[in-house]
Structure 1
């Protein structure tokens, strides 16, 4: 059994809670499907920025059903670093990590989702489901 992971944006923790039972797509929230690919955005932000992961802090639980799914808020510093990542840095990272086209598209989509969250002053969240 695997863990399903989506990252999404919402205008508040209350709005983000709507994603708990069925995910952000069902709740009609902007999201990036990261199932089976990436779990912690702070790790990606650290790799892209050359900073240590410990500088970003852990995500905070917004809601958890204690059985199957949960929603965590991504720390604002992580979102800010992702949003500030330029295309050239994404290309460099993709080359260094030997990423395929699908992975590059996903990283770019995560960066763009972070930019939209910053632009709208929304939070960025992670939905997990076992």
Structure 2
């Protein structure tokens, strides 16, 4: 059994809570599908930004069904650091880590989602389900 993970944006925690049952796609929120690929965004952001993981803050549980699904709000420091990653750094990271094209596309999509969250003053969230 694996963990399903999507990262998404929403303009309120109330709206983010609606993603609990079936994920952000079901409630038509902008998201990046990371199922089977990345669970801990803060670790990726620390690697991309060169910052220490301890500088990036902790996610905050928004809602949890107590069994299998939950929604967490990503720390503002993580979202800002991810949004600040430029294309040159993405290419360098991809080369250093020998990433596949689909992995670079997902990282780029996550970065763009973070930028959109900042532009619209929205939160960025992680939906996960076992």
TM-score normalised by L of structure 2: 0.99
Give the drift of 1:124: 0.1
| Residues in 2 aligned to 1:74 and 1:118: alpha-carbon distance in whole angstroms | 12
| Residues in 2 aligned to 1:48 and 1:104: alpha-carbon distance in whole angstroms | 12
Give the drift of 1:90: 0.3
Paired residues for 1:1-130 under 5 Å? 1-130=1-130
C-alpha distance after superposition, 1:40-91 (max 9, x if no partner): 1111110011111111122100000000100000000000011011000000
Count of residues in Structure 1 that have an aligned counterpart in Structure 2: 130
**3-state SS of the aligned residue for 1:63?**
strand
| Residues in 2 aligned to 1:21 and 1:15: alpha-carbon distance in whole angstroms | 12
**3-state SS of the aligned residue for 2:25?**
coil
TM-score normalised by L of structure 1: 0.99
**3-state SS of the aligned residue for 1:7?**
strand
Give the RMSD, CA atoms, in angstroms. 0.5
Deviating 4+ runs (over 2 angstroms) = none
